[in-house]
Amino acid sequence: MRLIQCSNAAPTDLPIDDVKRLNIEKHLGFIDQAAKQGVQILCMQEIFTTPYFCAEQQTRWYEAVERIPDGPTVRLMQEVAKTHGMVLVVPIYEEENYRHLLQHCGGDRCGRQVSGEVSQKSHSTCEPGILGKVYFRPGNLGYPVFDTAFARVGVYICYDRHFPEGARALGLNGAEIVFNPSATVAGLSEYLWRIEQPAHAVANGYFVGAINRVGHEMPWDIGEFYGQSYFCDPRVTVYRRSGTGSGRVGGRRSGPRTD
């Protein structure tokens, strides 16, 4: 398994399509590297196609939304998953019935959308520099778990991690690994980052892959996205906690042990 944490690849004043293209190209390079190493499941960070635009209130960022499953990024990632025989967890900004949602779409190794389902973010915040509720509406799909070729996968997006109820629901629904694609900066969350996901893992008997982006994003610079992506198991063993640079974080998978 792998996680990808990245810094923003594009100036924020470029046309939105160019911002997305440059960020997608950067991630495709890391996906190709992972495929050469035989990685089976890979997850990217929250809204990986753009900077964390929730730092400002500008309607131009609505142009970043895509339909699921017919949007260009999802179609591309389905082809990439098929080419590499890999499961990809693709956190993307979705337009659904004129609502904007942040959600995950999974592509299995045959390039299909897993089970025809998606997992949507349930909780957002709205405070200076983190204006999630300006852009995102709560999802209404519950906490599905996806049967893939390699594991039963759940997704718990960013701010959701502060709430144990959804994490518990993913466990009850049979998740073996839960990915938490995020965008969070130094301060109080950095302390919580090290304890919340391991707590979910031990309480619910599954592995967790926690992903955070990296770097300072201008012109807003709301703080440092500190990375520190990692995997942990149900016994709170942490595998390969990353630093603060762009790259991939690897982990291993074995059966959950809770004894």
Task: Output the 3-class SS for 29-81.
Answer: HHHHHHHHCCCCEEECCCCCCCCCHHHCCCHHHHHHCECCCCCHHHHHHHHHH
Distance CA 220, CA 206 (A): 36
Output DSSP code: residue 141. Answer: S
Query: Catalytic: 26?
Result: no
Neighbours of 110 (CB within 10 A): 12
Distance of CA 37 to the CA centre of its chain: 21
Distance CA 231, CA 179 (A): 9
Q: Which of 158, 196, 217, 232 is catalytic?
A: 158
What count of Cα atoms within 13 Å lies in the side-chain half-sphere of residue 255? 2
Query: Catalytic: 158?
Result: yes
Query: Catalytic: 79?
Result: no
- For the four alpha carbons of 50, 35, 212 and 7, in that order, the dihedral sign comes to negative
DSSP SS3 for 250:
strand
Q: Which of 46, 94, 196, 217 is catalytic?
A: 46
Q: Which of 54, 94, 121, 196 is catalytic?
A: 121
C-alpha closest to that of 85 among 49, 137, 31, 136:
31
DSSP SS3 for 193:
helix
Angle between helices 196-204 and 164-172 (to 10 degrees): 30
Structural element, H or E, at residue 82? helix 72-84
Please state whether the peptide bond connecting residue 219 to the residue before it is cis, i.e. omega within 30 degrees of 0: yes
Q: What residues act catalytically?
A: 46, 121, 158
